[in-house]
Amino acid sequence: MTELDWIFLLGGLFGLFLGGEALVRGSVGIARRLAIPPLLIGLTVVGFGTSTPELLVSVDSALRGVPDIAIGNIVGSNIGNILLIVGLSALVWPIRVMGGTLRRDTAVMMAAALALLPLFLLGQMGRFSGGLLVAGLIGYLVWAYLQPGPDVAEDDPAPVPPLWQAALWVAIGLAALMLGARFLVDGAVNIARGYGVSEAFIGLTIVAVGTSLPELATSLIAALRRQSEIAIGNIIGSNIFNVFGILGVTALITPIPVADRFLRFDLPVMIAASLVLTGLLLLRPKIGRLTGIGLLLAYAIYVWAAQG
């Protein structure tokens, strides 16, 4: 382990952040230029765009023989999305909950978390398991398109960029994401081995938070603007895409062995966090600052316990 490993790690995080921002910006520009409905932009373009860092890091890790980082990245991202990002967002501004519009997506998020339990019990995420998860994502997108819920007018006063400019942003974003993913995995693996901590722990914490930077930025900005449904909807959508899309596509590309620790500890934490968020969204009128502090404390305890 050298200082270069830390440079790779930090450079990878920076590349993922800039790449995710550029990809989403360009993708939304193309979608608006082609008059794609805002609903589909949110479900597909932005959803997939903010999850691209997780996809590239997980695929790269699996192909290079570090499956614990591939799975830890996804499970850790979902835990961090709920305990860390929702907690920080609630601290910035209390999140007012519109339960009726979130029931479908919250139910799908819980179904995605629970679906991993029997798949992890198999000891390996094979191509059949990956196909099942991708099929679940397709079913969710079709369901969301056919039953979109209350229509919300698009409120984006920014001018629509030329098509070439939007495409250039997409190209720049993809390039930055690919380089960032490679640097992040290189640095994380070497640092983990240098400090003697497990690759799973690095994947569950540093890599997971790093690949969730687009979600973190989106939710915090939405909280500052007091756009509660965007802040919380971004987290729910990301958790759904992470399981059905990212893990599914990764397993389709190459089978991933599942370490026992994910089944014994990390997946139950992810399911418990999903249950807590479900209860907060459906049973309370808002997620206040005190609840946000509780979520952040729970994340700190999880990170401490995950080292074992």
- Domain assignment present for residue 155? The answer is no
Mean pLDDT of 139-161: 66
Q: Considering the chain, what percentage of its residues have pLDDT values greater than 90?
A: 34
pLDDT score recorded for residue 60 = 85
Q: Which of 100-109, 155-164, 204-213, 294-303 is the least confident region?
A: 155-164
pLDDT score recorded for residue 211 = 76
Residue range(s) defining the domain that contains residue 59: 3-147+160-306
Which residue would you say has higher pLDDT here, 244 or 96?
A: 244
* Nearest Cα residue to 213 out of 7, 17, 10: 17
- Domain assignment present for residue 152? The answer is no
Q: For 115-128, what is each residue's pLDDT tens digit?
A: 999 999 999 999 99
- Domain assignment present for residue 264? The answer is yes
Enclosing H/E stretch for 266: none
> pLDDT-derived band of residue 264, with 50, 70 and 90 as boundaries?
very high
Q: Provide the domain count of the chain.
A: 1
Which residue would you say has higher pLDDT here, 10 or 71?
A: 71
The answer on pLDDT for 262 being more than 60 is yes
- Domain assignment present for residue 95? The answer is yes
> pLDDT-derived band of residue 152, with 50, 70 and 90 as boundaries?
very low
> Cα(223)–Cα(275) distance, rounded to whole angstroms?
22
Sign of the C-alpha dihedral computed for residues 134, 237, 208 and 179 taken in this order: positive
- Domain assignment present for residue 154? The answer is no
- Domain assignment present for residue 121? The answer is yes
> Cα(273)–Cα(277) distance, rounded to whole angstroms?
6
Q: How far is CA 245 from CA 5, 42, 241, in A?
A: 30, 15, 5
Residue 51 per-residue DSSP state: H
Q: Which residues of 48-60 are buried (b: 16+ CB within 10 A; e: fewer)?
A: bbbbbbbbbbbbb
pLDDT score recorded for residue 37 = 60
> pLDDT-derived band of residue 43, with 50, 70 and 90 as boundaries?
low
> Cα(66)–Cα(68) distance, rounded to whole angstroms?
6
Q: Which of 4-13, 143-152, 257-266 is the least confident region?
A: 143-152
Q: What are phi and psi of 18, to 5 degrees?
A: -65, -40
Judge whether 235 and 78 are in contact, CB under 8 Å: no
Per the prediction, the chain carries an average pLDDT of 82
- Domain assignment present for residue 258? The answer is yes
Q: For 220-238, what is each residue's pLDDT tens digit?
A: 777 777 766 667 777 888 8
Where residue 167 sits, what CATH number does that domain have? Answer: 1.20.1420.30
> pLDDT-derived band of residue 27, with 50, 70 and 90 as boundaries?
confident
pLDDT score recorded for residue 297 = 97
Q: For 274-284, what is each residue's pLDDT tens digit?
A: 999 998 888 87
The answer on pLDDT for 84 being more than 70 is yes
pLDDT score recorded for residue 245 = 92
End-to-end C-alpha distance for the chain, whole angstroms: 22
Q: Can you give the pTM of this predicted structure?
A: 0.80
